[in-house]
Each structure stands twice: as structure tokens, then as C-alpha cells.
Structure 1
Amino acid sequence: MKLIEVEDGVRINTLELGAGDPILLLHGWSLSMEVWDRQIRVLAEAGHRVIAMDTRGHGHSDAPLSGYDIDQLAADAFSVLTAHGVHRAHVVGWSLGGMIALRMAHRAPERVSAVVMVASNGVAGARQPGFPFGAPPDGALAAILAAEHLDRVSLRRNAVGDPFGTPPDPGTLDWLHRISLQTPSWAAMNCMKTLLCTNQTHILDTLVVPVSQIVGRSDPAMSSRGARWVQERLASSLTELDCGHYPMLERPDEFDNALLRALAMVERIAT
């Protein structure tokens, strides 16, 4: 574990394991690097240098009042790579982390070898101009912010449990709920605004970094049609698993194999 101080003085909690080609793991809304525990080990044992981080406001990172827009979240991730002495890395992002990964590839393609988006299309978490998939953000965002203000404990339990393809076992739900409650309300609210209101469709036209997607066919939180739309725009790789929003938990063996295949394919292209 290592705390990294980024440009505005916020401390980001990170973990590094293994040696080889560097891979940065980014988690999703209100959770932390804990969701990657199995993949950190699997990737390190496969010969990769794995760096995982808690996004600001999440896990054991600092939680300032502001600074949760997509550009700042991407800047934090670059600062983490720099602090670990890494100039260029594969970036694997789940859910909101997929949007951050795509932003990184757009802003500094020389620093991103490839992007693997998990349960994410990377461009939008809700319907946006130029992206006609998913529900419009306004109603959903207002309801989530109101519920967070009224009863964050109940909201978080529903928010982490509902996106499964089938209901998770109670132990898994308790674990995710505990992680989610580490994220304070101001960070959760701001990150939800970023997730639902960011529109990155313009990035696709100029993206030069290889992109792969691993998504669940039964994901209630992300439109699989939107993922296919991104694949067609980028001529990228898309793997669909029989699960919901948590492929690393719902189909761990299949997910690990798909992730390792995606990384191996990028490395073959690079050589």
C-alpha cells in the first residue's frame, strides 16, 4: 500500500503487486480496489505489474468536497502512475472506471497502451446527445441524490445489489455494502453526477488507443446495445458474458480468461 499525493494535495490510496507490463485497475462508483482482489492476484501471477487505486472519495483515499469531474479523476490516475514510476500502462476500468480509462486514453494516448472497459461503454452512463441508449439522466439522478440525502444506508445497499444479473448471496451483498459506505455522501453524489452526466461520444472519433469491452448481457445498469454501438464505432473487441454489472464476481473464471485474452491480444498488436 502507498499513499500518493496528487496535484491538489489529495492523497490517493494505491497498491502495487507483481512485475512485468504495468496494468492500472480502476473501480466503479462508491466501491474501491477491494472489488479487484482476485484480479490483482491473477494478473500478478500471470506476469504483470499491477497497480490498483482507490478513486478520490472512495476506499482509503481522501474525500475532498469537490474535484470529482472526469478530467480530475483521470488526472489523479496519471499522478498515481507517475508516482509509481510508470510512464505507460494498460488501463482496466470497471463502470465509472471505464469512463476514466477512456478519458485517459484520449488525453494522453502516449501513456495508455490499451483500455479494457468492464461493464462500461466508456462514453456515457445514461442517455446523452449522440448516445441514444439507456435512460435519460435527469430523473434517475434526482432520485438517487434525494435518496442519498434521506437514507444513504438503504440507498447504498440497493445500489450495490440491484445491478447483479441474479441476486447475490447475502455475504457478498454485505461486503459490497460495507465498502460502499466508506464513500461519504458528498463524494458519492458528485461521482454519480459525473457517471450519469458525462458525455464522451466525441472521444471515439480521434481515439488511437486499442480498446476492449467485457460486459454482461443482463447488466441492468448499462445498455449492452450501447456497448455494441461503441464496438462498431471503434472496430474494437467486445466480450459478452452471461451476468450483470459484476462480471468479476458473477463469472470470475470466464472474466479472468476474457481479461487475460484482451491484454494478450493488445500485446501481440504492439509487437
Structure 2
Amino acid sequence: MATIINKTDTEEVGLHVADYGSGQPVILIHGWPLSHKSWEQQIPTLVDAGYRVIAYDRRGFGESDKPWSGYDYDTLAGDLHKVITELQLSNVILAGFSMGGGEVVRYISKYGEDNIAKVVLISSIIPLVKQKEDNPDGVPPEKLEEIAQALKDDRVGFLKGFHEQFYGVDKDPSAVSKGQLDNDFIIASQAAPQATVKAADAWANTDFRAECANISVPTLIIHGKKDATVPFESAGQQASLLIKNSLLITYDDAAHGLNVTHAERLNSDLIGFLSTQ
């Protein structure tokens, strides 16, 4: 474990970074509102397969510093850039889960693909979450407004029940254990309140559709057909049409948190894609 300091003219933010193994680097970028610990079931498999696995806590979450601002995707992509440059990484595989897909796409838009070998988007918010006239399958604006208001009114109350839909427990009570739900609540509740609110605004309202054209490296997109958090039709399905060099794998029975509910299958698909020349 290490702390990488991203220092700019206006701030200095410490990012908590886990760095395991050796070989080609794989950077894992976690979803909202969790931390790098959400990759618990992927990290050992990737390390055992011969990869160097780097997973960091987004600013405001986990054990990273919690500044008042900087939760827009430009700033978050800057944090990712600092991790890559500080560790002097090249030939990197970027893997973003849910909100983490936004850092991946914005990073490539801002910094290019010179250091990037492949991209993986898992249950990702790419390209656009919000329902619009030209994005009819997205999440209705009023639903996103309800989430934003709930976070302001009773953040921990909202987070207590959030992961039931996340894992599909509302439809299948056996999807994950109560311990998993409790663990996620503990991690999510300890994130900074301002980070939780402002990061939610970023993933709910940022439109990445035009930026998808910037990705030319091989890209794996994995999305669950039963994802009620980030709908498949507006996310994984649409992303596969916008990213030209992409492979879409759908999990017909998976909700959003398939990194836990379908960990074995996901790990197999990841290794298969990462090991392909």
C-alpha cells in the first residue's frame, strides 16, 4: 500500500493505492460509492495470472484524501494520470467498474492512448446514464433527482438500502450474503458526504457519447441484462456500438454488481481478454 500525491496549483490530494504482483499493469477503478476493496474477488486471480494489479481509492472514498471539490471527471482523470505517471507505467490495461468507466474514457480523451494497451468496461456508466430524448433507455431524470435529494437528506439511510438493487437482492434474496451488504454499507458510509453527492452528480449527468470515438485500443464491455442501476440498453449495448474496437459480453441473469455475484465468470472473461494478443 502506498499514497500517491497529486499536487496541482490549487490542491494536494493523497490517493491510497494498492499495488500487487508484477508483469503487465492492470489498473482497477472502482464504482460509486465504494473503494478499491470492491475488487476483492478479482485482484487475486489477476495477480496469480501474472499481472501487476494496481487498485486505488478515488478521492473522497476509501482511504484517499477527501477534499471538498474535484469530483468532476476531468479532475478524476487527472488523478488516474498521476497514478500512471508516478508509477512510470506503460502498456497499461485500464478496467473501470460502473462510475470508473468514466475515468477510463475521460483519461483517453485528455491524455491519449500512448500508454494504454486495452480497456475493460464492467457494468459501466458509459456512455450516458440519464434518459434524454435521444437516450430513451436511460434512467429518468426524476429518478436521478430522487437519488440526489436522498443523499442530501439522509445519506446513510439511502446507502443502507442501495446495494440491494445493486446486487439484485430485491429480486433474489440469495444473490449475496448479508455480510456482503453490511460490508458495502460500512465502506460507502465512510466516504465523504460531499464526495458521495458530487461524484453522483458526475456519473448521472456526464455525457461520454462523443468521447467514445477516441477509444481505438481493444475494449471489452461486460454488462448484465438485469442491471437496474445502469440499464444495459443505454450503457453496455450503446457503448459497444460507439466504441469501434469493442467486444460485448452480456450476462443474461446479472444485476449491476456482477463483480461479486458472477465473480468466477467475470474473472475467466477478464483473463481470456487480457491474455489475447
Q: TM-score range by the shorter chain?
A: over 0.9
Which residue in 2 is equivalent to 1:206?
Answer: 214
Which residue in 2 is equivalent to 1:39?
Answer: 42
Q: Alignment partner for residue 254 of structure 2, among 243, 253, 264?
A: 243
Task: Verify: 1:115 aligned to 2:119, yes or no.
Answer: yes
Task: Verify: 1:197 aligned to 2:240, yes or no.
Answer: no
Cα distance change on mapping 1:95 and 1:19 into 2, 3 Å = same
C-alpha separation in 1, matches of 2:132 and 2:272:
31
Q: Is contact 1:126–1:135 with CA below 8 Å preserved after alignment?
A: yes
1:231-252 deviation digits (Å, cap 9, x = unpaired): 1233411111221111110011
Residue 100 of structure 1 and its aligned partner are, at CA, apart by 1.2
Which residue in 2 is equivalent to 1:230?
Answer: 239
Residue 211 of structure 1 and its aligned partner are, at CA, apart by 1.5
Paired amino acid for 1:4:
I
C-alpha separation in 1, matches of 2:126 and 2:185:
25
Which residue in 1 is equivalent to 2:130?
Answer: 126
TM-score by length of 1: 0.93
- For this pair of structures, how many residues does the alignment match? 265
Residue 191 of structure 1 and its aligned partner are, at CA, apart by 0.3
Task: Verify: 1:218 aligned to 2:226, yes or no.
Answer: yes
Q: Alignment partner for residue 159 of structure 2, among 153, 156, 176?
A: 156
Q: Secondary structure at the match of 1:173?
A: helix
Deviates more, 1:47-56 or 1:148-157: 148-157
Q: Is contact 1:131–1:201 with CA below 8 Å preserved after alignment?
A: no
Q: Secondary structure at the match of 1:3?
A: strand
> What are the residue-to-residue correspondences of 1:139-178 with 2, within 5 Å?
139-165=142-168, 166-167=172-173, 168-178=176-186
Which residue in 1 is equivalent to 2:26?
Answer: 23
> What are the residue-to-residue correspondences of 1:32-71 with 2, within 5 Å?
32-71=35-74
Cα distance change on mapping 1:141 and 1:135 into 2, 3 Å = closer
C-alpha separation in 2, matches of 1:186 and 1:140:
20
Structure 1 unmatched ranges of 5 or more: none
Question: 1 or 2, which has the higher helix percentage?
Answer: 1
RMSD, matched Cα? 1.5
Residue 130 of structure 1 and its aligned partner are, at CA, apart by 4.6
Q: Is contact 1:141–1:192 with CA below 8 Å preserved after alignment?
A: no
Which residue in 2 is equivalent to 1:86?
Answer: 89
Give 4+ residue runs of structure 1 displaced > 3 Å after superposition. 128-132
Q: Is contact 2:128–2:138 with CA below 8 Å preserved after alignment?
A: no
Which residue in 2 is equivalent to 1:2?
Answer: 2
C-alpha separation in 2, matches of 1:148 and 1:125:
18
Q: Is contact 1:128–1:199 with CA below 8 Å preserved after alignment?
A: no
Residue 121 of structure 1 and its aligned partner are, at CA, apart by 4.7
Task: Verify: 1:252 aligned to 2:250, yes or no.
Answer: no
Which residue in 1 is equivalent to 2:139?
Answer: 135
